[in-house]
Chain A
Amino acid sequence: MSHGHHHETSSGSARSPLAARVRAMEALLVEKGVVTEAEIQDNIRYMDSRSPANGARLVAHAWTDEGFKARLLSDGKAAAIEFGIDAVASPELVVVENTPEVHNLIVCTLCSCYPRNVLGRPPDWYKSFEYRSRAVREPRAVMREFGFEPPGETRVAVHDSTADVRYMVLPMRPPGTEGLDEEGLADLVTRDCLIGVNVPRTPALAG
């Protein structure tokens, strides 16, 4: 279950052969008493309750609390639990910090290991063969396609999470955000920033 690959039912794929197979397996497991329909629904609800908003809140809190940031960088899982995120049963979480010197990018070339407790379900592109193969080989080109070009003097560090540890990027707080509270800061942090294919933007100054 910890490494369960959830198969999204996006519109149009509900009648795909894969969806049919999943439904058939589900029906059998229920019929044989291995799981109940209620347990399946509870699990789906739990999976859906986890989203990149958790990661964004962690980042915003780290931006406003140096002590928490230090704890997040030294033991991501403990810091996430301290912050109230349900991560007790999750794999270790290593948080890597973007600085002017280093920009970090996360990929799992072997499958799609992903810090689900802080980022929810991975996007389809993260699991694609194309992203997995290109992110390690030409990370700068991949980021360019997401609309982000790291400065030439910045090292790009790729983290291939091949095993029992999950990774998340702590982006740099963008300039011009001094007036924002934690909630406003969290709004700037997208899922893509937490994977590292992009960075948070300074909010357009209204008026």
Chain B
Amino acid sequence: MTARFAPGDPVRVRPGAKPGHVRTPDYLKGKDGKIERVLGAFPNPEDLAYGLSGEPERVLYKVGFSQGELWPDYGGPAEDPLYADVYEHWLEPGGGK
């Protein structure tokens, strides 16, 4: 399983909804972040939830965001980071800043 993104790559979490079980929290949808670490490939939990095989496996990334981007009214330094684990099919290349 080759990873589409590498550490340092800018990414955007795909906006929008998908019916059923989803492992990408809503507050990250449409947000810009950066690949922090490639965590490996795992059976797709969004299929496992329905008793399917989870194949093909999906690459999971630790993605970094800045709190100031996520919450305009964040009560701390805007550069405070937030990291979340996001599967590849929820990510698209980021525009870069």
Interface positions of A (Cβ within 8 A of B): 92, 94, 109-110, 136-141, 152, 155-165
Contacts and interface: CB of A to CB of B under 8 A. Distances in A.
Given A110-B23, A155-B80, A165-B60, A160 B40 contact: no
Nearest to A155: B80
A139 B80 CA distance: 10
B75 A159 contact: no
Nearest to A153: B77
| Complex A-B, nearest 8 residue pairs according to Cβ-Cβ distance, in ascending order | A163-B85, A160-B84, A164-B42, A158-B82, A140-B76, A157-B81, A109-B25, A156-B80
Contacts, number: 71
A162 B84 contact: yes
Contacts of A157: 80-83
B86 interface: yes
Interface string B68-83: 0011001111011111
Interface in B22-79: 23-25, 27, 39-40, 42, 45, 60, 62, 67, 70-71, 74-77, 79
A159 B63 CA distance: 10
A164 B60 contact: yes
Contact of A158 (B39, B77, B81, B87): B81
A160 B24 CA distance: 10
A77 B23 CA distance: 22
Interface size class of B (residues with CB under 8 A): 20 to 34
A46 B76 CA distance: 41
B39 A162 contact: no
Nearest to A140: B76
A134 to B, nearest CB: 11
B25 A158 contact: no
Contacts of B86: 162-163
Given A157-B80, A161-B85, A138 B42 contact: no
Contacts of A160: 25, 82-85
Given A110-B23, A110-B25, A136-B27, A162 B76 contact: no
B85 to A, nearest CB: 4
Contact of B23 (A140, A141, A156, A163): A163
A163 B42 contact: yes
B27 A162 contact: no
Contact of B79 (A138, A141, A155, A163): A155
A92 B25 contact: no
B27 A164 contact: no
Contacts of A152: 77
A75 B8 CA distance: 21
Contacts of A139: 76, 80
